[in-house]
Amino acid sequence: MYRKTTLKNGLRIITVPIRGTQTITLLILVATGSKYEKKEINGISHLLEHMAFRGTKKRPQTLDIAKELDRVGGLYNAFTGKEFMGFWVKVDSKHFDLAADVLSDMIFNSLFKEKEIGKEKKAIVEEINMYLDTPQSYVLELWEKLLYREQPAGWMIAGQKEKVKRISRKNILDYFRKQFSAENTVISLAGNFKNREAVSKIKKFFEKAKKTKTLAKKPVIERQKSPQILLQTKETDQTHLTLGVRAYNIFKPERYPLAVLSNLLGGIMSSRLFIEIREKRGMAYYIKTIHENYSDTGYLVTHAGIDNKRTEEAIKIILKEYKNLKEKKVPKEELQKAKDNIKGHLYLGLETSDAWASYLGVQEILKRKISTPAQECKMIDKVSQDDILKVARDIFQPKKLNLALIGPFKDKNQFQKLLKL
């Protein structure tokens, strides 16, 4: 289905030809992100991502890159995460060479002009302001801050405004040269192409990537002996909360029952919490349970916007559903529905070249190992009632509970007494 080619310099190329599409997506992934940063330069990965679009030797003006890709109807963007960052272009397959040329130019020849850095810092400050003014999104930042505190895992990817303003051009160049190493990079290509020809072209554009010693991220230290709360007081029309527990990293087999458990709780419109909180009581417009599996840690969290007057009631209901899962086996029919939903979403999400490029590339950059959709579905199928019960009993313990919320409250102690299972 897919092929992996490793060049002499350590650069990995993942290719997956797709029938029935006219497009190709070329995705460059680099194993770096906010977890790799020092506190004084928190936000540098995100700033570097932005700067890749601000001019290269071949395309020196800010709009030169955009104009070339816009001319052929291309889609393009970049992103930064905790553990990796990416740059991608999706075009009609006949423009493959253009996509490769533009991306390699951005990776190898960005100018990082002082003036452009100044402009982009201002844009990022406004991006941070946007997050801070959007409690529905920002409460998820507070959630990870609560879990990991002053470790890099607990910092905002975009950084703090004052720190971003102080990042220098030298900081950016030093970080770029260390992290953008051949062995630290994966190129993922999906769509309409002939494999041998495509790999040959990628080699031509990217073989000059150098081997360098990269910065290692510090392992996350998880210490928690009692329920924890982080409250941000803000006059809001509804309370935005995140309530959940520490769980498993991407390498743990328990992540499969965790995914099913998450779906059962709040992954779909017929999930337990959606029914109890939205359908039966009308307490929220949005409520969902998600799970996250990083390379060294993970969690399960319920995220909701609740009527301010009914926040305590909602917390009690969420905890009640957590407790039910550790005390009673999930009915077989409900379990099968959750598993079928996960498998269906997986395949529905892989109908485009960009989805395939991401699906395969992210696995390779995080695990150096790729599971096919069929293999993933097989693992989901294996999840039993006893597996769900075992995982629920492991994670749903009072000492693992964490609650982060934004709302018009001043005393977190009113919520502390609720965190029981």
Q: What is the CATH number of the domain that holds 236?
A: 3.30.830.10
For residues 138 and 251, membership in a common domain is answered with no
144 and 293: one domain? no
Please say if the pLDDT value at position 207 is more than 90. no
User: Where does a domain end: 206, 241, 265?
Assistant: 206
State whether 262 and 383 are in the same domain.
yes
Closest CA to 356 of 186, 191, 187: 191
In which band, very low, low, confident or very high, does the pLDDT at 1 lie, cut at 50, 70 and 90? confident
Average pLDDT, the chain: 96
pLDDT of residue 86: 98
- Same domain assignment for residues 142 and 21: yes
In a domain, 197, yes or no: yes
The beta-carbon contacts of 304-307 under 8 Å, at least 24 apart in sequence, are: 304/240, 304/241, 304/273, 304/277, 305/136, 305/238, 305/239, 305/240, 305/241, 306/238, 306/239, 306/240, 306/241, 306/277, 307/238, 307/239, 307/283
Residues 6+ apart with CB under 8 A from 153: 35, 82, 144, 147, 220, 294, 297
**Is 29 in the same domain as 61?**
yes
Nearest to 284 by CA among 244, 315, 323: 315
Region 151-174: mean pLDDT is 97
With residue 386 as reference, give the H or E element that holds it.
Answer: helix 385-395
Give the residue from 206, 239, 266 where a domain finishes.
206
Please answer whether residues 93 and 192 qualify as being in contact, where contact means their C-beta atoms are separated by less than 8 angstroms.
Answer: yes
Instruction: Specify the pTM.
Output: 0.95
Alpha helices, DSSP H, located in 21-61: 44-51
pLDDT surpasses 90 at 84: yes
Structure tokens at 171: 């900081």
- Domain containing 77: what range? 3-206
Q: What is the mean pLDDT of residues 241-250?
A: 98
Round to whole Å and give the CA distance between 173 and 312: 49
Checking if the pLDDT of 364 tops 90, the result is: yes
49 a catalytic residue: yes
Average pLDDT over residues 189-215: 93
pLDDT tens digits, one per residue of 189-199: 999 999 999 99
Residues 235 and 192 in one domain: no
Are residue 92 and residue 13 in the same domain, yes or no?
A: yes
- Let me know if residue 216 belongs to a domain: no
Q: State the greatest distance between any 2 C-alpha atoms of the chain, in Å, as a whole number.
A: 64
DSSP state for residue 175 in the 8-state scheme: H
- The two structure tokens encoding residue 212: 């360098």
- Work out the average pLDDT over 254-283: 97
Q: What is the pLDDT of residue 195?
A: 95
Q: Look up tokens 């999706």; give the residue.
A: 90
Number of CB atoms found within 10 A of residue 194's CB:
10
Say if 291 falls within a structural domain.
yes
Alpha helices in 86-194 (DSSP H): 96-109, 114-132, 135-148, 161-166, 169-179
pLDDT score, position 211: 87
- Same domain, yes or no, for 177 and 325? no
Residue 141 has pLDDT above 90, yes or no: yes
Q: What is the pLDDT averaged over residues 63-86?
A: 97
Beta bridge partners of 245: 300, 401
Residue 33 is classified by DSSP as S
| Judgement on whether residues 237 and 184 belong to the same structural domain of the protein | no
Long-range (24+ apart) CB contacts under 8 A made by 94-97 are 96/24, 96/26, 96/193, 96/198, 96/201, 97/201
- Domain assignment present for residue 19? The answer is yes
> Looking at the domain assignment, is residue 336 inside a domain?
yes
Task: Provide the pLDDT for residue 338.
Answer: 98
3-state secondary structure of 14: strand
State how many domains the chain has: 2
| pLDDT on residue 418 | 96
Given the residues 37, 49, 116, 276, the one annotated as active site: 49
Q: Is residue 222 part of a domain?
A: no
Q: Which residue has the tokens 């150098």?
A: 210
CA separation for the pair 82, 37 (Å, rounded):
10
Task: Provide, rounded to the nearest whole percent, the portion of the chain with pLDDT above 70.
Answer: 100
- For residue 169, being part of any structural domain is answered with yes
Same domain, residue pair 266 and 371: yes
Q: How far apart are CA 120 and CA 86, in angstroms?
A: 18
Three-state secondary structure call for residue 120: helix
Buried b or exposed e, range 368-397, using 16+ CB within 10 angstroms: eebeeeeebbeebeebeeebbbebbebbbb
- Going by pLDDT thresholds of 50, 70 and 90, the confidence category of residue 208 is confident
Q: Is residue 212 part of a domain?
A: no
Does residue 388 have a pLDDT over 90?
yes
Q: How far is CA 109 from the centre of its chain?
A: 27
- The three-class DSSP label of residue 185 is strand
Comparing C-alpha atoms, which of 337, 1, 259, 33 is closest to residue 158? 33
Shared domain for 118 and 191, answered yes or no, is yes
**Closest listed residue to residue 99, CA positions, set 349, 364, 361, 357:** 357
Q: In sequence order, what DSSP letters do the residues of 201-215 get, joined into one string? A: HHHHHHTTPPP-PPP
Average pLDDT over residues 169-186: 96
Same structural domain, 90 and 164: yes
What average pLDDT does range 174-190 have in this prediction? 96
Q: Output the pLDDT for position 67.
A: 95
Asked if the model's pLDDT at residue 62 lies above 90, the reply is: no
Tell me the per-residue pLDDT of 88-137, one tens digit each, with 9 for 90 and over.
Answer: 999 999 999 999 999 999 999 999 999 999 999 999 999 999 999 999 99
